[in-house]
């Protein structure tokens, strides 16, 4: 096809022209194997990566399909070397399989004796495998199942894990068609999972273990609940923090047959082990005298399913523990596979391949998440502050710029522009936030605020009792504030891209009146603050959220 | 046996001799003195070796078969050879092969059938086609069919050669079988430990065939099928990339010329720097550097210390369009004798081979390149790898197989240059293969080649799609103007069928450095973008421009400053000081365009007292601008003398040879050698003039000795005696090997051994 919507570059990037009449078809066709890298207005960039191609193989696509798709939609002839590379890379997946052997137990099998010989010769697999059974089979210590998979991915020969899972302890869970009120004032209503959530659950269950990628606010908890209902076993849920743990609990009680007595919380505050246990990463990674004190939780029950919330934040020790959990079904939930530390391959090998993915804009177009308007407000610093900034030590520069006093006035003005909205002000530095809270006469939540106090304030914010809330980075993740429609970010943790995405996620739950969400980033002009902001915004700009830039001075004019 | 090879050569016509010299140029240099010595030389081992080196597998097979069939030099006809090859229907083809071989005097004929040239048996080895020695037909042999059990496998094992078998230890069953076979005359004991399968038995076992299968046509490797469009598209991408890299190299070496190593060539560090600059690995960088040098675009400036700098030709090159630039490079590559693929390997002394070093000069490269292009052109639309090409070349010259590394290197260069795309010859590649290589250094692009490339280049696009994430996409090949703009204002993220660029503070700053203002840049971008310039980009450009203008740097040769503004008042406006180029930077500072000393003097003259500043009062050094050289590409040394045999030289030689030949033919005894005065038995007095006509070329002497050996004739040998004087003896050669000649002196009836290096000349006597 000489006039297709795709341009395939030899550096393995694929450009998709959005306005092309076939762009929709092409997007669907390449989505299974190409990672969306950027999705700005006109031309989206996808990339072929080894992991992406292996994910596609795991999902049952073969190299021929990939090659045909590329050739069918490409505007120019596809570079030959790339096609060969695709076929070669995809051919590597599944050449090795982990299987349960009737007499030898867990074994690593290969269709190709040479490949097996190659990986066994490597230093990385030393000590992970047992006796050679024959030319194409080698025994594997069950305890090394995860480590071996990790090593094999590093060697470029990912193994397909067909060894199956333990059934786990049965514990019937069903999704209830009517919500159960959890908070006073809440009313029961009918609901059912959204089509994409149901697809995600099916995709995961079919694949055995793996990761579901959904944007913030798209209802990942429900995917988790759906997976638990499918599994019908005891479940361990790992989440980022206590507030998030409580939200999981509320959501599970609301939408499933589970009762409060069946759900336990295992956190710094409470150590309950129940058929469904929600634990925080923090408590699991707590060490005393070099020993992980809460490891026994992992074996406390015969878990049939392990759910990882926010997979892209999994701390390194959890990866190591996960390596020992390979016999249990694992579900990873995340908004993005991008990790600032680049450990995507460990997610792939230890939790599993990507099983479902839906781009933000698609879900937004279906009306499941609120459309958002992103604005960067650039504040020109006054003369004396610029002088202070220019002469400051490099390590102080970001804090100086991020906490510029001028930002307070900007925030005030922005808040004034949204008198009827629920406004969140998010920042990094406690001093700055304290000052802002005083200015706005709004309550402040930081790491120092007790969980009870936090719950109370979030509850009040949710019910509309208070309409302004100043929060530190504790609110970055998994806090469900459905009615927040305006977020103002005054400072962030340097250039973290996923933090920006998470913060935008705070305001993206669909609003009852279909209102547009607003996300403001206040940035000091000509400083490192601006550079970091540019880096942070990259992820969202690539996801198609174009930032509008407004000069702080213009806010006055607009008023 | 009627006639002889020598006789045959001597009776060739003028045209036939010309054809012979054209087919085997080495026969003409140094010029043989007589037709006899020409014949001797044509049958000599050295010359035959050289001639066979260029023959293809088919011709060699035919010659082997001929040799195997021609018992004792008997004539054989083409059909018999074809049948022996197992291709009875190919008689005509074999005939053509034999005709060509006859032109080169590798075979000769007399009436019916052809005979192998003497000496061919030696060059083709003792067992042509794996067949054992011939023997007289008179030896009685048993039929191979009534044999004891256990004997047949022995014959079968030896049937297809090599025909030599080791005798099994005594007392074993195989030994008994071997003994019986020897008894029956089917095997011959060659020495105590070996047996030989005689030629007639071998042929019988093979059913009269000399070869299992005919190999008369070159192989056609299957390769991988590549659509023409695919090959062309990839070739266009590669061609543009190489052109871009050469252009980059020229710009970079203009700014900072790398120095020439003492032994010649580019140092490791400079190569690494160049590779980084070209965003490629060192092997490719070495190729680009060599290509630019072959095209005459960069050269050694010849100064001390020497550096590599762009030449004036680079100016012309830079003014041509992409296709023209490519055509220039491709034509230069076609005739280049350089082997850049050896860069990074070590020579015999363990020294690293550097790009541009004289070490990398190999005269055979153009010929091999032409062969590779021919192989690729013979199979259009097929991607061939080095092994495939090697298989074909091995057929074409099995006795001189090209080195694999060179082949792989040439194929890689072809793909880098876009001569091949996806491994198959592309349309521009076909054009290059069809063009006639010029020996002149390239000085202008070849219009046909340029047209061929232009036809496959993607359409030029003059638009860039600007996006909110500060990227821009050119959905095709950027037009030169657009490319220049993006080169300055953005960084390329991905190149290929489309180009992706990213704008950043750094890249925008670069554009501003090139003298564009922020507003101009935005205007240009919006003129070239089908969509409005995104706000984020607009802010980026405006903010960068604002900062760019806030601090300014300029150059001044000297300055005047004073704490008192009034002291400087009126200086800038003074017409008498206009020559100083004074500019007011601030009320208290003026910049000047002349050296401080001059400024100081002029101001003194005007009556302004000033003091000189600075540690030594010297102005800043002027910016060094390298001067481009007028220099040819690689100095092309004339090719080796053997290849230089022009048609005229050959004609002159033949005329001279034939000028002497008729007088020899006219001599009463027929076939008198060069020394006309010599009559048998009489040793002529040696004069200085006579010696010059003799076979005083060492090669000729040996050839004449071989000739004499074969024909059992007596020759007149002039040799250096023990006391250092020349001694002439009439001798009959018996054996020649290991640098020694054993010969019989018929007059003294004594045998003597002479070291070959002592032989000064040989003259045939008959």
Phi, psi (5° rounding) for residue A484?
A: -65, 125
Q: A67 vs chain B: nearest CA distance in angstroms?
A: 14
For residue B457, the SS3 value is coil
Q: Do B496 and A538 touch (CB under 8 A)?
A: no
Size of interface A-B (CB pairs under 8 A): 90
- Are A378 and B539 an interchain contact pair (Cβ–Cβ within 8 Å)? yes
Q: Closest to B468 (Cβ–Cβ): which among A9, A80, A541?
A: A541
* Higher per-residue pLDDT: B378 or A395: B378
d(CA B253, CA B300): 11
* A507 Cβ contact partners less than 8 Å away, ≥ 6 residues apart: A370, A372, A424, A484, A485, A486, A487, A517, A518, A519
Residue-wise pLDDT for A94-135, tens only, equals: 888 888 888 888 888 888 888 888 888 888 888 888 888 888
Which chain A residues are within 8 Å of B416, Cβ to Cβ?
A: none
Q: Which residues of B touch A11 (CB under 8 A)?
A: 494-496
For residue B261, pLDDT beyond 50? yes
Q: Which residue of B has its CA nearest to A376?
A: B536
Residue among A88, A97, A103 at smallest CA distance from A53: A88
Closest-CA residue in chain A for B459?
A76
Q: How many CA atoms lie within 13 A of A263 on its CB side?
A: 21
Q: How many CA atoms lie within 13 A of B391 on its CB side?
A: 12
The β-bridge partners of A378 are A523, A551
pLDDT tens per residue across span A466-506: 888 888 877 665 456 667 788 888 887 666 666 776 677 77
When pLDDT is averaged across residues A39-68 and rounded to a whole number, the result is 86
Whether B143 has a pLDDT exceeding 80, the answer reads: no
Q: A421 CA to chain B: closest CA distance, Å?
A: 27
Distance CA A53, CA A91 (A): 10
Q: Domains of chain A by range and CATH?
A: 6-92 (no CATH), 96-161 (no CATH), 195-364 (3.40.50.300), 370-558 (3.40.50.300)
Rg (CA), chain B: 39
Long-range Cβ contact pairs of B85-89 (< 8 A, separation 24 or more): B85/B61, B85/B209, B85/B210, B85/B211, B85/B214, B85/B216, B86/B209, B86/B211, B86/B212, B86/B213, B86/B214, B87/B214, B87/B216
Q: Which of B198, B197, B211, B208 is nearest to B154 (CA)?
A: B197
Contact A480, A509 (CB under 8 A): yes
Chain B nearest-CA distance from A410, in A, is 19
Is there a contact between B463 and B442 (Cβ–Cβ < 8 Å)?
A: no
- Kindly state the tokens that stand for B27: 């026969």
Tokens linked to B406: 């060179």
* pLDDT band, very low/low/confident/very high, at B766 (cuts 50, 70, 90): low
Residues contacting residue B329 through CB under 8 Å, at least 6 positions apart: B242, B243, B246, B291, B295, B417
The DSSP secondary-structure symbol of B653 reads: H
Chain A residues closer than 8 Å to B531 by CB: 41-42
| Whether the predicted pLDDT of B675 surpasses 50 | no
Confidence of residue B665 (pLDDT cuts 50, 70, 90): very low
Question: Are the Cβ atoms of B497 and A542 closer than 8 angstroms?
Answer: no
Cα–Cα dist B628/B257, whole Å: 11
Instruction: Say if residues A275 and A301 touch (Cβ distance below 8 Å).
Output: yes
Which member of B229, B234, B470 has the closest CB to residue A79? B234
Contact criterion met (CB < 8 Å) for A80 and B230: yes
Q: Which of A175-189, A249-263, B188-202, B445-459 has the lowest mean pLDDT?
A: A175-189
Contact A80 B423 (CB under 8 A): yes
Place of tokens 């390596």: A323
Residue B319: C-alpha distances to residues A282, B114, B257, B477 (Å):
66, 61, 21, 19
Q: Is the pLDDT of residue B691 over 50?
A: no
Asked if residue B668 has pLDDT above 60, the reply is no
Architecture field, domain B673-764: Roll (2.30)
Q: What pLDDT is attached to residue A542?
A: 64
- Which tokens belong to B738? 């290991």
Residues of A in contact with B467 (CB under 8 A): 40-43
Tally: H helices and E strands in chain B: 30, 25
d(CA A115, CA A124): 14
CA B648 to CA A194: how far, in whole Å?
Answer: 91
Q: Which of B79-88, B246-255, B436-445 ranks highest by mean pLDDT?
A: B246-255
> B464 touching A, CB under 8 A?
no
A87 interfacial to chain B (CB closer than 8 Å)? no
- Give the orientation angle of helix B322-335 with respect to helix B447-456, to 10 degrees: 120
DSSP per-residue letters across B2-60? -S-HHHHHHT--HHHHHHHHHH-GGGGSSPPSSHHHHHHHHTSHHHHHHHHHT--HHHH
Question: Chain B residues with CB inside 8 Å of A8's CB?
Answer: 496-497
What residues of A are in contact with residue B547 (Cβ under 8 Å)? 526
Residue B258 has pLDDT above 90, yes or no: yes
The Cα of B373 is separated from the nearest Cα of chain A by a number of Å equal to 21
A488 membership: H or E segment, kind and range: strand A484-489
Give the mean pLDDT of chain B.
81
Q: Say if the Cβ atoms of A10 and B536 lie within 8 Å.
A: no
Q: Do A79 and B237 touch (CB under 8 A)?
A: yes
Pairing of strands B477-478, B460-461: parallel
The shares of helix, strand and coil residues in chain B, as percent rounded to the nearest 5, are 45, 15, 40
In chain A, residues 194-213 whose CB comes closer than 8 Å to chain B = none
Q: Could you tell me which of A280, A235, A186, A302 has the C-alpha nearest to residue A478?
A: A280
CA distance A283 to B656: 105
B532 touches chain A (CB under 8 A): no
Averaged pLDDT, B551-558: 79
How far apart, in whole angstroms, are the C-alpha atoms of residue A169 and residue A304? 6
Kindly state the average pLDDT of the residues B605-610: 76
Choose among B304, B361, B302, B319: nearest CA to B337. Answer: B361
Q: What is the distance of C-alpha A188 from the center of its chain?
A: 30
Looking up tokens 């019910």, which residue turns up? Answer: A463
Confidence of residue B329 (pLDDT cuts 50, 70, 90): very high
Helices (H) and strands (E) in chain A, counts: 22, 25
Q: Which residues contact A466 (CB under 8 A, 6 or more apart)?
A: A442, A443, A457, A460
> Residue A294 has which token pair?
């809460």
Cβ distance B234 to A9 less than 8 Å, yes or no, reads no
Contacts of A172 (CB under 8 A, 6+ apart): A232, A257
Name the nearest CA neighbour of A350 among A328, A372, A365: A328
At B204-235, the pLDDT tens digits run 888 888 888 888 888 888 888 888 888 888 89
- Residue B42 CA to residue B106 CA, distance in Å, equals 8
**Other residues' Cβ atoms within 10 Å of the Cβ of residue B693:** 17
Check residue B161 and give its pLDDT.
73
Q: In angstroms, rounded to a whole number, what is the distance separating the alpha carbons of residues A508 and A514?
A: 11
Query: Is B497 an 8 Å CB contact of chain A?
Result: yes
Asked if pLDDT for residue B522 goes beyond 60, the answer is yes
Q: What is the pLDDT of residue A369?
A: 75
Count of CB atoms situated within 10 Å of the CB of A283: 21
Indicate the range of A329-343, B319-333, B418-432 predicted with least confidence. A329-343
Which residues from chain B sit within 8 angstroms of residue A15, using beta carbons?
A: 473, 475, 498, 500
A210/B26 Cα distance (integer angstroms): 74
> B539 vs A541: CB contact, 8 Å cut-off?
no
* DSSP strands (E only) in A294-397: 305-308, 329-334, 354-357, 372-379
How many Cβ atoms sit within 10 Å of the Cβ of residue B692?
Answer: 10
Check residue B412 and give its pLDDT. Answer: 94
Residues from chain B that touch A79, judged by Cβ atoms under 8 A, are 234, 237, 422, 496
Pairing outcome for strands A291-292 and A287-288: antiparallel
How far apart are alpha carbons B292 and B365 in whole angstroms? 17
**Ranges of each domain in chain B:** 224-456, 461-545, 673-764
Query: What angle is formed at CA B97 by the lines to CA B91 and CA B99, rounded to 5 degrees?
Result: 100
State the Cα–Cα distance between residues B43 and B9, nearest whole angstrom: 10
Q: What local confidence, expressed as pLDDT, does residue B326 receive?
A: 93
Task: Please report which confidence band the pLDDT of residue B678 belongs to, taking 50, 70 and 90 as the band edges.
Answer: very low
B669 Cβ contact partners less than 8 Å away, ≥ 6 residues apart: B766
Contacts of A7 in chain B (CB under 8 A): 475, 496-498
How far is the C-alpha of B522 from the C-alpha of B542, rounded, in Å? 9
End-to-end CA distance of chain B, in Å? 18
pLDDT tens-digit profile of B437-483? 777 777 778 888 899 999 888 778 888 989 888 889 988 888 888 88
Distance in angstroms (rounded) separating the CA atoms of residues B284 and B297: 17
CB contact under 8 A, A9 and B496: yes
Q: Which tens digit of pLDDT belongs to each residue from A145-167?
A: 888 888 888 888 888 888 888 88
Mean pLDDT for the stretch of residues B17-34: 85
Interface with A, mutate which of B231, B382, B458, B498 (most A CBs under 10 A) = B498
Of A535 and B198, the one with more pLDDT: B198
In the beta sheet, which residues pair with residue B196?
B164, B188
CA torsion, ordered A449, A451, A457, A463, to nearest 10 deg = 160
């Amino acid at each position: 096809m000489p006039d297709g919507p795709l341009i395939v570059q030899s550096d393995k990037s694929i450009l998709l022209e959005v306005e092309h009449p076939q762009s929709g078809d092409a997007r669907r066709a390449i989505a299974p194997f190409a990672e969306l890298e950027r999705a700005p207005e006109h031309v989206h960039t996808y990339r072929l990566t080894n992991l992406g191609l292996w994910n596609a193989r795991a999902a049952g696509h073969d190299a021929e399909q990939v090659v045909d798709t590329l050739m069918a939609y490409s505007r120019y002839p596809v570079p030959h070397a790339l096609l060969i590379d695709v076929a070669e890379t995809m051919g590597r997946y599944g050449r090795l399989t982990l299987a349960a052997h009737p007499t030898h137990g867990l074994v690593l099998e290969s269709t190709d004796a040479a490949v097996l010989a190659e990986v066994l010769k490597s230093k990385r697999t030393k000590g992970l495998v047992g006796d050679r059974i024959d030319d194409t089979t080698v025994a594997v210590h069950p305890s090394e199942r995860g480590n071996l998979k990790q090593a094999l991915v590093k060697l470029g020969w990912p193994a397909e894990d067909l060894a199956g899972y333990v059934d786990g302890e049965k514990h019937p869970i069903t999704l209830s068609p009517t919500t159960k009120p959890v908070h006073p004032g809440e009313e029961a209503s009918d609901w059912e999972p959204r089509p994409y959530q149901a697809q995600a659950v099916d995709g995961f269950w079919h694949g055995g273990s793996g990761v579901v990628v959904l944007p913030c606010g798209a209802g990942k908890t429900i995917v988790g609940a759906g997976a638990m209902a499918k599994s019908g076993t005891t479940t361990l849920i790992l989440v980022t923090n206590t507030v998030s743990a409580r939200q999981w609990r509320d959501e599970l009680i609301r939408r499933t047959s589970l009762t409060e007595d069946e759900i336990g919380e295992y956190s710094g505050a409470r150590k309950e082990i129940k058929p469904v246990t929600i634990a925080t990463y923090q408590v699991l990674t707590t060490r005393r005298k070099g020993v992980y004190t809460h490891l026994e939780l992992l074996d406390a029950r015969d878990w049939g399913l392990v759910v990882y919330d926010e997979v892209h934040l999994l701390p390194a020790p959890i990866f190591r523990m996960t390596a020992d959990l390979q016999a249990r079904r694992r579900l990873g939930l995340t908004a993005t596979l991008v990790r600032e530390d680049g450990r995507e391959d460990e997610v792939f090998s230890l939790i599993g391949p990507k099983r479902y993915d839906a781009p933000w804009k698609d879900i937004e177009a279906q009306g499941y998440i609120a459309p958002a308007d992103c604005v960067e407000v650039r504040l020109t610093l006054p003369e004396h502050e610029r002088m202070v900034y220019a002469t400051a030590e490099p390590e102080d520069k970001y804090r100086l710029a991020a906490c510029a006093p001028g930002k307070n006035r900007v925030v005030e003005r922005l808040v004034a522009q949204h008198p009827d909205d629920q406004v969140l002000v998010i920042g990094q530095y406690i001093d700055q936030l304290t000052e802002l809270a005083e200015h706005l006469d709004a309550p402040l939540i930081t790491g120092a605020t007790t969980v009870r106090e936090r719950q109370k304030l979030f509850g009040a914010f949710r019910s509309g009792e208070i309409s302004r809330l100043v929060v530190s980075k504790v609110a970055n993740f998994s806090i469900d504030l459905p009615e927040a429609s305006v977020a103002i970010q005054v400072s962030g943790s340097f250039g973290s891209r996923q933090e920006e995405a998470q913060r935008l996620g705070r305001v993206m739950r669909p609003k009852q009146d279909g209102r547009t969400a607003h996300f403001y980033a206040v940035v000091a002009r000509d400083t490192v603050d601006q550079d970091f902001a540019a880096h942070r915004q990259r992820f969202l700009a690539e996801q198609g959220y174009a930032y509008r830039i407004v000069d702080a001075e213009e806010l006055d004019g607009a008023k | 046996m009627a006639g002889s090879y020598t006789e045959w050569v001597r009776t060739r016509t003028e045209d036939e001799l010309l054809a012979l010299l054209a087919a085997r140029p080495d026969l003409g240099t140094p010029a043989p003195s007589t037709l006899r010595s020409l014949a001797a030389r044509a049958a000599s081992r050295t010359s035959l070796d050289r001639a066979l080196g260029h023959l293809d597998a088919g011709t060699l097979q035919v010659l082997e078969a001929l040799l195997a069939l021609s018992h004792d030099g008997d004539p054989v006809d083409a059909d018999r050879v074809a049948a022996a090859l197992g291709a009875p229907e190919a008689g005509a083809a074999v005939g053509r092969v034999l005709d060509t071989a006859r032109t080169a005097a590798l075979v000769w004929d007399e009436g019916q059938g052809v005979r192998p040239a003497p000496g061919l048996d030696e060059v083709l080895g003792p067992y042509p086609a794996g067949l054992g020695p011939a023997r007289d037909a008179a030896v009685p042999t048993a039929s191979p069919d009534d044999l004891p059990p256990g004997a047949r496998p022995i014959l079968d094992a030896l049937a297809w050669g090599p025909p030599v078998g080791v005798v099994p230890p005594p007392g074993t069953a195989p030994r008994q079988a071997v003994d019986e076979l020897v008894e029956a005359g089917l095997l011959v004991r060659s020495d105590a430990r070996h047996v030989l399968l005689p030629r007639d038995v071998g042929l019988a076992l093979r059913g009269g065939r000399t070869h299992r299968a005919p190999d008369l046509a070159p192989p056609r490797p299957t390769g991988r099928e590549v659509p023409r469009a695919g090959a062309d598209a990839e070739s266009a991408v590669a061609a543009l990339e190489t052109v871009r890299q050469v252009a980059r190299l020229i710009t970079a070496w203009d700014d900072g010329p790398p120095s020439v190593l003492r032994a010649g060539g580019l140092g490791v560090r400079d190569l690494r720097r160049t590779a980084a600059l070209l965003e490629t690995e060192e092997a490719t960088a070495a190729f680009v550097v060599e290509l630019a040098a072959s095209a005459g675009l960069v050269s050694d400036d010849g100064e001390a210390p020497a550096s590599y700098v762009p030449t004036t030709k680079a100016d012309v090159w830079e003014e041509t369009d992409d296709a023209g630039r490519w055509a220039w490079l491709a034509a230069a590559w076609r005739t280049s004798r350089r082997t850049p693929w050896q860069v990074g390997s070590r020579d015999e002394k363990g020294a690293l081979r550097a790009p541009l070093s004289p070490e990398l000069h190999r005269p055979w490269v153009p010929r091999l390149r032409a062969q590779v292009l021919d192989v690729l052109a013979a199979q259009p639309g097929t991607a061939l790898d080095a092994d495939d090409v090697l298989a074909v070349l091995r057929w074409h010259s099995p006795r001189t197989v090209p080195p694999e590394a060179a082949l792989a290197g040439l194929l890689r260069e072809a793909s880098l240059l876009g001569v091949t795309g996806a491994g198959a010859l592309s349309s521009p590649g076909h054009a290059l293969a069809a063009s006639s290589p010029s020996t002149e250094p390239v000085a202008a692009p070849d219009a046909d080649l340029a047209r061929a490339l232009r036809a496959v280049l993607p359409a030029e696009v003059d638009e860039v799609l600007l996006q909110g994430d500060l990227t821009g996409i050119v959905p095709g090949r950027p037009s030169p103007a657009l490319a220049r703009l993006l080169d300055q204002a953005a960084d390329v993220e991905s190149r290929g069928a489309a180009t992706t660029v990213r704008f950043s503070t750094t890249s925008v700053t670069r554009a501003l450095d090139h003298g564009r203002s922020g507003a101009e840049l935005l205007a240009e971008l919006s003129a070239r973008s089908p969509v409005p310039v995104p706000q984020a980009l607009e802010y980026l450009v405006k903010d960068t421009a604002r900062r760019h203008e806030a601090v300014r740097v300029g150059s001044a040769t000297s300055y005047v400053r004073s704490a008192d503004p009034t002291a400087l008042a009126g200086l800038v406006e003074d017409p008498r000081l206009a020559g100083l180029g004074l500019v007011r930077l601030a009320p208290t500072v003026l910049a000047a365009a002349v050296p401080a000393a001059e400024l100081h003097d002029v101001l003194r003259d005007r009556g302004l007292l000033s003091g000189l500043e600075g540690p030594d009062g010297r102005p800043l050094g002027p910016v060094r601008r390298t001067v481009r050289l007028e220099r040819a590409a690689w100095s092309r040394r004339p090719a080796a003398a053997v290849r230089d045999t022009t048609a005229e030289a050959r004609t002159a030689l033949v005329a001279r040879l034939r000028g002497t030949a008729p007088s020899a033919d006219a001599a009463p005894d027929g076939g008198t050698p060069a020394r006309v005065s010599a009559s048998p038995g009489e040793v002529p007095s040696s004069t200085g003039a006579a010696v010059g006509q003799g076979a005083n070329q060492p090669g000729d002497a040996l050839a004449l000795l071989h000739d004499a050996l074969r024909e059992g004739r007596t020759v007149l040998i002039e040799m250096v005696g023990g006391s250092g004087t020349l001694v002439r003896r009439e001798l009959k050669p018996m054996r020649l090997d290991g640098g020694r000649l054993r010969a019989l002196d018929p007059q003294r009836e004594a045998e003597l051994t002479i070291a070959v290096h002592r032989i000064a000349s040989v003259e045939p006597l008959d």
